[in-house]
Structure 1
């Protein structure tokens, strides 16, 4: 089966040339999401790392949901923070609230010098469809 490239009509407006997700053989890779509001893409970003992390996680969940998946299907996340030392602890508190304590995906978190649209955080992820399910 060839890879499938997904654009979610109600998803966040892309800030670069990419698909929201690419799927192959049950693996679903979501492009890094920014803390933009899909309903108001030109609105200012939320203030602070907690609000931006929530918006990013909600955007990821929205895309997964449109692909008949949820955060429970996530196996790995990559997280990027522009103010790593300042924001890491609060970011972790917010991020982990989206997953059961016994079901945390594998994760890498990296401090970076800048992100698109002036964001404080960006997260991409890999999810896996349950065996036998293909969308």
Structure 2
């Protein structure tokens, strides 16, 4: 099995000892993305909608760095600090994905890095 580190300057650099993503053969495993601005590395301003949009923009950038798009994502996991934001996250996600939608789980957590309200990781399969 071949393993390749995926990195995109259009997404925030990792804030710990991990890669933005790893490609193993045709499968790309994304690390969780939080709503960090890729230029300054700071948490984006705004509520859950703005944060969720930044997260999906970051994931799209990493997908591009791997030679793919969000259309090739087969699974995502959404972590939120408040499940009351579930409908807002769904509405934003609908702007980034079309049918057939990726498989998904949504999990409420007590906290996320840098005080983020949302984090998303993903798995993508390249053609």
Shorter-chain TM-score bucket reads: over 0.9
- Which residue matches 2:56? 57
In our comparison, the structure showing a higher alpha carbon Rg is: 1
* Alignment: residue pair count: 127
Task: State the Cα RMSD in Å.
Answer: 1.2
Please give the alpha-carbon distance, in whole angstroms, between the structure 2 residues aligned to 1:72 and 1:10.
18
C-alpha contact (below 8 Å) 1:33/1:60 kept by paired residues: yes
- SS of residue paired to 1:125: strand
Extract unaligned runs of 5+ from structure 1.
131-135
- Which residue matches 2:17? 17
- SS of residue paired to 1:19: coil
C-alpha contact (below 8 Å) 2:28/2:66 kept by paired residues: no
| TM-score scaled by length of structure 1 | 0.88
Q: Which runs of 4+ in 1 moved over 3 A?
A: none
Extract unaligned runs of 5+ from structure 2.
none
Please give the alpha-carbon distance, in whole angstroms, between the structure 1 residues aligned to 2:87 and 2:9.
34
